[in-house]
Amino acid sequence: MAIPVIDFSKLNGKDRAEALAQIAEACENWGFFQLVNHGIPFELLERVKKVCSQSYKLEREEGFKNSMPVKLLNDLVERNYMNGTDEKLEDLDWEDVFILQDDNKWPCQPLEFKETMSEYRRELRNLAAKVMEVMDENLGLPKGYIKNALNGGEGIEDAFFGTKVSHYPPCPHPEQLKGLRAHTDAGGVILLFQDDKVGGLQILKDGEWIDVQPLENSIVINTGDQIEVLSNGRYKSVWHRVLASRDGNRRSIASFYNPSLNATIAPAPQLIQSVTKVANDHDQQQAYPEFVFGDYMSVYAKHKFLPKEPRFQAVRAIKK
């Protein structure tokens, strides 16, 4: 079983209806899909791979060798050996991360890093907007509805757009921990540029973990908890995780188009139907509360690796 691969360029031609339907199916049944022919120049993607790998080598690799995950894994392996046990590290990720925002400190090396990653982030932000418009259309919402909701209203530009550059270095004992523990994403739309060769990302589908197959220069899209709320449960956020691996240093670059902390999030009224209306597949009552995204993030920060349903209950309680 492989996650859907969709040719995004088909939206501009005679096959538009087919591409829209494929994206709708992927959003409703998978929560993850890969876009090819997405319009981001390959030449830029090649530069992105190069500067992120170089920056890891120049600024972070040495630090990872002395990092907490390395120390805690060494201690665990020694303890297991001494005690004849097989304990695992359940609350740690074998991952090196740096975050790029518009206004934080970025790696200085290599010199082309800033220019390349700024260009990449502009392209990805535009792609996120296009993907959200497709979701609007598929859900029968006015054009711009999801983007406006995440920004906190029409004409406001306050969404959070962050880029998380991760490396999952080779791990001597990959069976003892995860590269990144299973979770659903808190926010809106996530655009992931994953390693061409080293796999490890998996999603939970019908009770089974399945691989998100590396596909050169594709962009993996997934929907976060807030799209689940806005769509009133039509587009569910999906559990995913990254396995640690003995070989290869997996690189992934995840860009998050997330709501403003001030945005009020609630199911779109168009997707809530009265209970008395004749039922069809998509008619349903409001399945999620209205809340302020900042409150959701306060809960998420403490419970990221736990099921999402109690998070919705917690923000329902805050709002009351």
Ligand X SMILES: O=C(O)CCC(=O)C(=O)O
Q: Residue 256's CB: how many other CB atoms inside 10 A? A: 22
**Min dist. Cβ of residue 209 to ligand X (A):** 14
Alpha carbons 273 and 271: distance in angstroms, whole number: 6
Q: Quick check: 185 binds ligand X (CB under 6 A)?
A: yes
**DSSP code, position 140:** T
Cα distances from 197 to residues 62, 194, 200, 248, 250, in angstroms, run 23, 9, 10, 9, 8
> Applying CB under 6 A, does 93 fall inside the site for ligand X?
no
Q: How far is the CB of 156 from ligand X (least distance, A)?
A: 26
Nearer to ligand X, 185 or 225 (CB): 185
Is residue 180 near ligand X by the rule CB under 6 A?
Answer: yes
Nearest distance, CB of residue 313 and ligand X, angstroms? 22
192 lies in the binding site for ligand X (CB under 6 A): yes
d(CA 40, CA 47): 12
Residues 6+ apart with CB under 8 A from 222: 31, 32, 33, 185, 189, 190, 192, 203, 237, 238, 240
Q: Which amino acid is at 283?
A: D
State yes or no: residue 201 binds ligand X (CB under 6 A). Answer: yes
| 77 vs 99, beta carbon nearer ligand X | 99
Minimal distance, residue 181 CB to ligand X, in Å: 10
Report the 10 Å Cβ neighbour count for 128. 24
| 258 binds ligand X per the rule CB under 6 A | no
Of 135-174, binders to ligand X (CB under 6 A) are 164, 166
* Shortest Cβ 93–ligand X spacing (Å): 9
Q: Are 113 and 223 within 8 A, CB to CB?
A: no
Residue closest to ligand X, measured at CB:
252
Task: Name which of 147 and 250 has its Cβ closer to ligand X.
Answer: 250
Residue 72 to residues 76, 90, 176: CA-CA distances in angstroms?
Answer: 6, 11, 11
Which one, 60 or 148, has the nearer CB to ligand X? 60
Alpha-carbon distance of 100 to 88, in angstroms, equals 31
Q: Does 244 bind ligand X (CB under 6 A)?
A: no
CA–CA separation, 149 and 121 (whole Å)? 21
Residues with Cβ within 8 Å of residue 5, at least 6 apart in sequence: 33, 34, 36, 215, 218
Candidates 116, 138, 232, 252: give the one binding ligand X (CB under 6 A).
252
Residues 158-196 as b or e (16 or more Cβ within 10 Å = b)? ebbbbbbbbbbbebebbebbbbbbbbbbbbbbbbbbbbe
Nearer to ligand X, 164 or 173 (CB): 164
The reply on whether position 132 binds ligand X by CB under 6 A is no
Does position 238 bind ligand X by CB under 6 A? no
Choice from 26, 242, 263, 271 touching ligand X (CB under 6 A):
242
Subset of 8-47 contacting ligand X (CB under 6 A): none
For the CB of residue 98, give the shortest distance to ligand X in the complex, in Å. 12
When the beta carbons of 136 and 185 are compared against ligand X, the nearer one is 185
Q: Where are the alpha helices (DSSP H) in 60-112?
A: 61-65, 68-83
**The one among 48, 165, 254, 271 contacting ligand X by CB under 6 A:** 254
Contact set with ligand X (CB under 6 A) = 164, 166, 180, 185, 192, 194, 201, 240, 242, 252, 254
